[in-house]
Structure 1
Amino acid sequence: MDLFDDLPEPTQTSGPVPAAQPQNTKEEEEEEEEEQGLKRKRDDADHHGDKPEDQEDRGEIKKVCREGLPRLRGFVAARRGERDEMQDAHVMLPDMSGCMTSLPGNTSRVSYFAVFDGHGGARASRFAAENLHQTLAKKFPSGDPENVDKLIKKCLLDTFRQTDEEFLKKASSQKPAWKDGSTATCVLVVDDMVYVANLGDSRAVLCRMEASAADQRRPVTLALSKEHNPTIYEERMRIQRAGGTVRDGRVLGVLEVSRSIGDGQYKRCGVISIPDLRRCQLTANDRFIILACDGLFKVFSADEAVKFVLSILQGGAVEQRSGVTEEELKFEAACQQLASEAVRRGCADNVTVILVSIGY
C-alpha cells in the first residue's frame, strides 16, 4: 500500500484543474516514475549549502540554480505577533549536500525547507530545526538503490520517529521535565520531485498556473499537507482508543494538535509523531510554495495567501538593490508583506512564512 498521497498531474486542457485534492497514484505509474528518476544525469555544477537560522522580523534569500532542474529560491519572514517569546523555528537548505555523505545514483540535488511551530516553549521547535534534517541526511538512501521512492518514504518516517524519541528522552531527563511540543512541516525536493512530511497544523501549499478557457493562465492552489487536530474523526478516534479525551476541540481540553514532536505528557493519550506524507512532481506550470505556521492561516485561507503573493509579484517595479534581481526583490517583498499582513489582520500568534519560488 502506497504511503504517499499524490497530487494531480498538470493538465494540458483548456480548463482549470477540477479539484485540488490529492489522489493515489497507481503502482504502474510509480514504477514508471522511479525508472525515469534513475535515468536523470548528475549535474556537475557546484553546490552551496546553507545553515539553518532562526530569525525574527527580517528577510533572508537562499539560491539554487541548476541547469535542467527547477531553480529554487527561498525567502523567509518571521513575526512575534503579540507573543512574549518567538516559539517558531525554520530551516532553509536549498542544497543539502553539505550535510550528506552521498546521494542516490543519478540524483543531482536535494533541497529542504521546514517550519516548526512550538507550544509550551521554544525548545521542541528549536530541537527539531537543529536535528531533524541532520538525521534525515544520515538516513537518506545512497548508492544506486532500485527503489529510491520507497526508501525516501521510509527515511522520512524513521527520521520523524527518531527526532521525537530523542527530544522526549532529553525532555524527560530535565528537572522539571520539559513539556514543550512542536508542529513540523518539511518540504524535501529531490531533483524535481517534492516530498512533504507534516505533523500538526502548520501547512504547505503550491501555486500552480493552469490554462483557462480564455487562453489565460489562472492560479490553482494545491494543498501539500494535511492538518492534524483532534476534531478530525480519525484523529479523535485514535485518541479515544488510547484512553484520551477531546474537549473543546483539544486533547484533554488543552492540546490543539493531535500529532507533534514532543508533548510527552500526551503521547500516552494517542498523540503521535507519524507524519502525513505527500508528494508532487514540479512542472513549468508551478510558481511557488508557501510554507507557514498556523499563525498565517488563522487569518488567511490558502487561496487568499496565494492570491496575495501573486498580486505583489504582478505589481509594479520595486526598488532595485545591488546583486539582487527584480524577481527576487518581488518574492522577498511578497514574503515580508504576507507575514506583516497576517499581524495587521489581528493574528496574535507567532507568524513564520517561507516562500519558495520555482523557476525554469
Structure 2
Amino acid sequence: MEDGAFCGVFDGHGKNGHIVSKIVCKRLPSLLLSQRNALARTYTEVNDNTFQNDIERIDGELRPSKNFHIWKEACISAFKLMDKEVQLQKKLDSSCSGTTAVVIIRQGEDLVIANLGDSRAVLGTITKNGVTAIQLTTDLKPGLPCEAERIRNCNGRVAALKQEPHIQRVWLPHDDSPGLAMSRAIGDFILKNHGIIAIPNIYYRHVTSNDQFIILATDGVWDVLSNDQVASIVWAADSEQAAARAVVEAATTAWKKKHPSAKVDDCTVTCLFLQKKQHVVVPVET
C-alpha cells in the first residue's frame, strides 16, 4: 500500500477457531484492497455532509478525507465477503467456531480502524504528562446494551454462567449453547440468525506528530493489563517486535498471578510505530 501500512490481529475461538483465524488473516487484506479499489472507481464525489455524520471520530477535531468513506465501505463489504467465504469452506465446520478481527489501515495522516469482536486497538500519544493511552475501539461484547438489544431482537439469549457472573454470553433461543462471549465475529454461523453479525465498527483518527504507536491485542491481554500499562511497556521498547514480545510476556505473567490454576488465554499482540520508517509487522503470541 503506497504511503501506508496495514496490520491486524485475529483471535480464533471454538474447536476450529485457529483455522478460521488463519484463513481470515491470509485472505482479508487482499479482500480489503480489492473492495477499496473497486469502490474508488465508482465513487467520484462524496457529499461533505455525509462525511460529517457517517463516522465515529476519535479525535473530534479534523474531518477525515473523502478517502475515508471509501475505506469504510470497503471494510464493511470485505468483512461480509470474508464471512461468506468462511461459510462456504466445505471441509470446515465453523458453526460454533469463529474469529475476531481488529485491523488498522494507515494512509499518510489518515488512520482507519475496523473492529469486530473483543480484541482492541489502543493508541499511544504524547501529552504533557508523558505517554498516554487512547482506546481506539469499543470491545464488542454481549454486555453492551446496544449489542444485547440486537441479539435479543433476533431471539438470541444473553446471560452469564453462574460461575462467571461477570461475563455475558450469547446462547441459542432454546438451547444452552454455544455461550459466545462476544457479540460480533466472522464464523459462528449457528448464531448468525440470532444477532451475531460480521459487520465491523469503523473509526477514524487523524495522526499527529504526538501519536507514537498503535497496539492491537486480543482480549487475553486486556483482561489482565490496563491500556496505560500496555502503552508504558511499548513506549519503553526499541522496536515493534520487542514491544509486542514485552507485552505478551507481561500479560502471560499477569495471567499466571491472577489465575494460577487456569490456562493462560491467548495473548497475541501487534505494534505499529507511527513516527519512524515502517517495518514489517510480525504478530507475537503465546
The interval holding the TM-score normalised by the smaller chain is 0.7 to 0.9
Deviation at 1:343, TM superposition (A): 0.8
Q: 2:216 aligns with which of 287, 291, 297?
A: 291
Asked if the contact 2:86/2:94 (under 8 Å) is kept, the reply is no
Distance 1:164 1:176 in 2: 13
By how many angstroms is 1:145 displaced? 4.1
User: Of 29, 48, 66, which residue of structure 2 is paired with 1:133?
Assistant: 29
Give the CA deviation at 1:161. 0.8
1:239 aligns with 2:156: no
1:203 aligns with 2:115: no
Partners of 2:29 and 2:44 in 1: CA distance: 21
1:280-302 CA-to-partner distances (Å, cap 9, x unmatched) read 11111011111111111111011
- 181, 189, 192: which one pairs with 2:109? 192
1:93 is aligned to none
Say if 2:166 is the partner of 1:270: no
Say if 1:181 and 1:192 are closer, same or farther in 2 by CA, change over 3 A: same
- Residue of structure 1 equivalent to 2:88: 169
Counterparts of 1:61-100 in structure 2 under 5 Å?
Answer: 96=1
Identity of aligned residues (%): 29
Instruction: Rate the CA distance shift 1:177–1:128 in 2: closer, same or farther, 3 A.
Output: closer
User: What's the CA shift string for 1:241-286, capped at 9, x where partnerless?
Assistant: 0011011010016100000000000111100011111011111101
Secondary structure of 1:272's match? coil
**Letter of the aligned partner of 2:27 in structure 1?**
N
What is the one-letter code of the residue matched to 2:87?
L
Q: Tell which structure's C-alpha radius of gyration is larger.
A: 1
In 1, the alpha carbon distance for the partners of 2:97 and 2:126 equals 39
Letter in 2 for 1:156: C
Structure 1 segments unaligned to the other structure (5+ residues): 1-95, 97-107, 314-326
Residue 357 of structure 1 pairs with residue 238 of structure 2: no
CA deviations 1:138-161 (Å, max 9, x no partner) are 111346944422111111110111
Q: Is the 8 A contact 2:118 2:140 kept in 1?
A: yes
Q: Does 1:227 align with 2:139?
A: yes
Structure 1 residue aligned with 2:69, among 150, 153, 175? 150
Q: 2:25 aligns to what SS in structure 1? A: helix
Residues 123 and 180, structure 1, Cα contact 8 Å, conserved in 2: no
> Which portions of structure 1, spanning 4 or more consecutive aligned residues, are displaced by more than 6 angstroms?
none
Counterpart of 2:12 in structure 1: which amino acid? G
The answer to whether structure 1 residue 114 and structure 2 residue 8 are counterparts is yes
Provide the aligned length of Structure 1 versus Structure 2: 231
Alpha-carbon offset, residue 175 of structure 1: 7.4
Give the drift of 1:332: 3.4
C-alpha separation between the residues in 1 aligned to 2:95 and 2:156? 21
Distance in 2, matches of 1:126 and 1:359, equals 30
Q: 1:351: how far off?
A: 1.0
Distance (whole Å) between structure 1 residues aligned to residue 23 and residue 155 of structure 2: 29
Query: Take 2:34 and 2:125, find their aligned partners in 1: how far apart are those partners?
Result: 32
Structure 2 unmatched runs, 5+: 46-65, 161-167, 257-263, 277-286
Does the CA contact (< 8 Å) of 1:240 and 1:270 recur in 2? yes
Task: Provide the C-alpha distance between the structure 2 equivalents of 1:202 and 1:292, rounded to a whole number of angstroms.
Answer: 6
SS at match of 1:299: coil
- SS of the residue corresponding to residue 274 of structure 1 reads coil
Q: Go from structure 1 to structure 2 and tell me whether the alpha carbon gap of 1:140 and 1:301 turns closer, same or farther (over 3 Å shift).
A: same
